[in-house]
Amino acid sequence: MKKVIVGVSGGVDSSVALILLKNQGYEVEGLFMRNWDSLINNDINGNPTLENDICTQEQDYNDAKKVCEKLGVKLHRVDFVKEYWDYVFTYFLEELKKGRTPNPDVMCNKYIKFDLFIKEAKKLNADYIATGHYAILKDGNLYKGIDENKDQSYFLSQLDKKQLENVLFPLGDMKKEEVRKIAREYNLITKDKKDSTGICFIGERNFRKFLTNYLPNQPGTIINIKTNKVVGQHIGLMHYTIGQRKGLNIGGTKERLFAVGKDLNKNILYVAEGENNEYLYSDSCIIDTLVLNTDEKITKCSAKFRYRSKDVPVEIEYLNDKELLIKYNNVKSVTPGQVCALYIGDRCIGSGIIKEVRKDGKKLWYLL
């Protein structure tokens, strides 16, 4: 009997992954990763998040424990707090300092869930590891999960082929409602638990307040890029991303204003009127931190520039071993620091991090 170590989070997806793999005849054990110190976990009011006097992460562990006990599955627990800080959270802070918009969940998969977790699973004599991600693996290649609303291949796009060896994604060919149905049939404590929408392992919180624990706010001016007039004050460039409308706190304009760029040296946030203003659009970008899981030199494919954004057709120019020029037709809110995931059909062939955004062959001066 093959042994599978399942990454359990205390959520419904990993709970059902346990059920499915056990029913398929595997020897199944769970592994809960503690990646953040819950003592510094704050809610939207800046207070420790408590549920029945237990911090949220401990509540997740208790839920995972109850699920495993109900299913007769052994549960292990491992502490990656230091590693998460070193490889994921430090990266997150450094990117914010540069005025970019990082995706720490992608890095968490790359350095924690599909690296340290795999090594820990091997110590437990695992033949496979499994997670509750909505994605599909076929012949060593990564594909989108069938549930378009839940597909998580974007978050897995920085994994190389080696990391995807001996990995199982039991939810890839299921829809979320089916997963909930199975959890209810087994009457699991996680059956109606809401999905986490916060940053991987850090949770949901007043993020602006949370960040000031690590990066001091540096207030500056907000300038309308069309009129070059000051229209407000920002609290710090790290708190804004391209295309953002909410939270700008600018009044007195007839049309809605959107963040379109940043000048890090002058500490200026640029805005423009209208959700389809010209400053939100670009036609190419440079990506680095490449992971390409294909031996072919692909010149045409599709790309996803943000999670839940639509795939768009692109052309690829190979600048060097470390950078690609991605060309496309008038795409909105392509943002430095975000992941550009590349697809051929439903197959994800890899990704890169957006380094520079361009229009008409020139770097957009107002984007960093």
Which residue among 55, 68, 108, 301 is the active-site one? Answer: 108
DSSP string for 351-365: EEEEEEEEETTEE-T
Hey, what amino acid is at 204? Answer: E
Q: Do 107 and 351 meet the contact criterion of CB atoms below 8 Å apart?
A: no
> Does residue 285 have an active-site annotation?
no
Cα–Cα distance, 220 to 62 (Å, whole number): 44
Question: Which residue of the set 55, 68, 200, 348 is catalytic?
Answer: 200
Cα-based angle 6, 10, 14 (whole degrees, multiple of 5): 40
Alpha-carbon span 16 to 141, nearest angstrom:
23
Closest by CA to 80, choosing from 203, 205, 201, is: 201
Residue 324: helix, strand or coil by DSSP?
A: strand
In angstroms, the CA 351 to CA 154 distance is 8
Task: Report which residue type is found at 265.
Answer: N
Within 10 A of 248 (CB to CB), how many other CB atoms are there? 18
Q: State the burial class of residue 288 (Cβ atoms within 10 Å of its Cβ: 0-12, 13-18, 19+).
A: middle
Cβ atoms within 10 Å, residue 94? 12
| 3-state DSSP assignment of residue 41 | coil
301 is catalytic: no
User: Which candidate, 26, 29, 122, places its Cα nearest to that of 69?
Assistant: 29
Reference 21, options 3, 43, 45; nearest CA is: 3
Catalytically active residues, by annotation:
108, 200
